[in-house]
Amino acid sequence: MKYSIGEVAERMGTNTSTLRYYDKQGLLPFVDRNAAGRREFKDNDFNFLEVINCLKKSGVPVKDIGKFINLCLQGDETLRERYDYLDQEERVLEEKVTEMQKQLDFLRFKKWYYKTSVEAGTEDIHFTKGTKFVDPETHQQYRYELKNTKDIHQLINLAVDEI
Amino acid sequence: MKYSIGEVAERMGTNTSTLRYYDKQGLLPFVDRNAAGRREFKDNDFNFLEVINCLKKSGVPVKDIGKFINLCLQGDETLRERYDYLDQEERVLEEKVTEMQKQLDFLRFKKWYYKTSVEAGTEDIHFTKGTKFVDPETHQQYRYELKNTKDIHQLINLAVDEI
DNA sequence: ATACGACTTGAAGTAAGGTTTAAGTCAAAC
DNA sequence: GTTTGACTTAAACCTTACTTCAAGTCGTAT
């Protein structure tokens, strides 16, 4: 089967301008053209497009994706190089996920901070030394004082220390 | 204690230009100025800076961070709004992490694809119907045929089916 | 007193990743 | 046969998030 740029755009959840932009940036060297100069995508091209999609969503710059695609077109000699690239990219992504989890931790601490503030009617409870209050959900009592948030994990532990 | 923009930049792992840019974009309305017009950060300002840092790393646009900071300066009336915002942002981040995990799945499948290809000396094994081969690490035998990668999770399961 | 480093501003420049526009081609429908 | 919709290109434009530049101020050390 052959597919026009419009069909491919719809299937990939993008638009034709973006695909043309990718083509111009060297991400689609595998795409054929018909007699009229129009792009004709093949079934196999979707394998490439999925790789592009994955790397894009993983935060890989367009230029670097192009390099990988071109490695793919160079045949079996670049198999190891391609493996090594993906291996490295896997570690980069894992690191990003770890970083996101840290921000989630912080976000959850701040949610707790605001939940208890809303409950108390004021943010001041977190700045008043030794204020006791009760978590409205768990009904646990806490004593807590906000200093500098140098280590948020430490603060979270501090925050959940029951009296 | 008071801190100059340079000291703050170093402590936050950024540079003075970026902090001035943030200030211009309305992210630092809490910063005082001395008689000479120079920025004077207070200890408490680091609480704001940490929030900015977190939201920035979470992928929140600069403008939106500014909105949140200004909400913070409006006092206890906006506590619930601030909670709701962070609650929503938490879900957005969780969704991002889930998305990243999907890309990690795909990346790992492709690593397996290349690992077995390197072992076989050619990528062709994945296009030859019913080719049997052995995972060099686990010594398990596989039979596997690459069609369209419509559902990568299904393919991964297919790939690890022992004969 | 003057040199130095750190600060101030507005404005221009940069890079990434598209998006839009203008001018034109092509194939099928009416 | 001409209109319509999808395609083609190059080039201009846009947004985000800085980064750099130019010109000037301030406080301290020599």
Instruction: Return the pLDDT at B126.
Output: 87
Mean per-residue pLDDT for A19-48?
97
3-state secondary structure of A32: strand
> A59 φ, ψ to 5°?
90, 15
Which residues in chain B, range 16-75, keep a C-beta under 7 Å from any nucleic strand C atom?
A: 16, 20, 23-24, 37-39
For every residue of A70-115, DSSP letters joined together read: HHHTT-GGGHHHHHHHHHHHHHHHHHHHHHHHHHHHHHHHHHHHHH
Instruction: Return the pLDDT at B94.
Output: 98
Instruction: Return the pLDDT at A131.
Output: 62
Q: Retrieve residue A125's tokens.
A: 């409870």
Q: What whole-number distance in Å separates Cα of residue A155 and Cα of residue A145?
A: 9
Q: What whole-number distance in Å separates Cα of residue B140 and Cα of residue B160?
A: 9
Instruction: Return the pLDDT at B163.
Output: 32
Instruction: Return the pLDDT at B5.
Output: 98
Q: What whole-number distance in Å separates Cα of residue A147 and Cα of residue A127?
A: 8
Q: What whole-number distance in Å separates Cα of residue B54 and Cα of residue A106?
A: 7
Least confident range of A22-26, A133-137, B92-96, B147-151: B147-151
Q: Are A145 and A130 in contact (CB under 8 A)?
A: yes
Q: What is the mean pLDDT of each run of 10 residues along chain B (163 residues)?
A: 97 97 98 97 97 98 98 97 98 97 96 95 85 55 48 48 38
Instruction: Return the pLDDT at A151.
Output: 44
CB contact under 8 A, A87 and B43: no
> A32 φ, ψ to 5°?
-80, 165
Rounded to 10°, the helix A79-120/B45-57 angle is 140
- Phi-psi sector, A5: left (phi>0), alpha (psi -120 to 50), beta: alpha
In the predicted structure, residue A155 carries a pLDDT above the cut 80: no
> Using alpha carbons only, what angle is made at residue A148 by residues A145 and A150, rounded to the nearest 5 degrees?
120
Instruction: Return the pLDDT at A163.
Output: 32
Instruction: Return the pLDDT at A8.
Output: 98
For the sheet containing A32-33, what is the strand order? A2-3, A39-42, A32-33
CB contact under 8 A, A90 and B99: no
pLDDT range class, residue A126, cuts 50, 70, 90: confident
In the predicted structure, residue A64 carries a pLDDT above the cut 90: yes
For every residue of B128-162, DSSP letters joined together read: STT-EEE-TTT--EEE------S-HHHHHHHHT-B
In the predicted structure, residue A159 carries a pLDDT above the cut 60: no
Residue among A26, A47, A130, A18 nearest B147 (CA): A47
In the predicted structure, residue A62 carries a pLDDT above the cut 60: yes
Instruction: Among all protein residues, pick the one whose CA is nearest to the C1' atom of C5.
Output: B6
CB contact under 8 A, A58 and B103: yes
3-state secondary structure of A134: strand
Q: Retrieve residue B109's tokens.
A: 């499948």
pLDDT range class, residue A137, cuts 50, 70, 90: low
Cβ of A35 < 7 Å from strand C? yes
pLDDT range class, residue A72, cuts 50, 70, 90: very high
In the predicted structure, residue A149 carries a pLDDT above the cut 50: no
Q: Retrieve residue B144's tokens.
A: 């596997």
Looking at the complex, does the CB of residue A34 fall below 8 Å from at least one CB of chain B? no
For every residue of B29-91, DSSP letters joined together read: TT-EE-TTS-EEEETTHHHHHHHHHHHHHTT--HHHHHHHHHHHTT-GGGHHHHHHHHHHHHH
Burial class (CB in 10 A: 0-12, 13-18, 19+), A143: middle
Q: What whole-number distance in Å separates Cα of residue A44 and Cα of residue B147?
A: 9
| Structural domains of chain B sorted by starting position, each given as residue range(s) with its CATH number in brackets | 2-73 (1.10.1660.10), 99-159 (no CATH)
Length of chain A: 163
Cβ of B21 < 7 Å from strand D? yes
In the predicted structure, residue A35 carries a pLDDT above the cut 80: yes
pLDDT tens by residue, A94-111? 999 999 999 999 999 999
- One-letter amino acid of B159: A
Instruction: Return the pLDDT at B149.
Output: 42
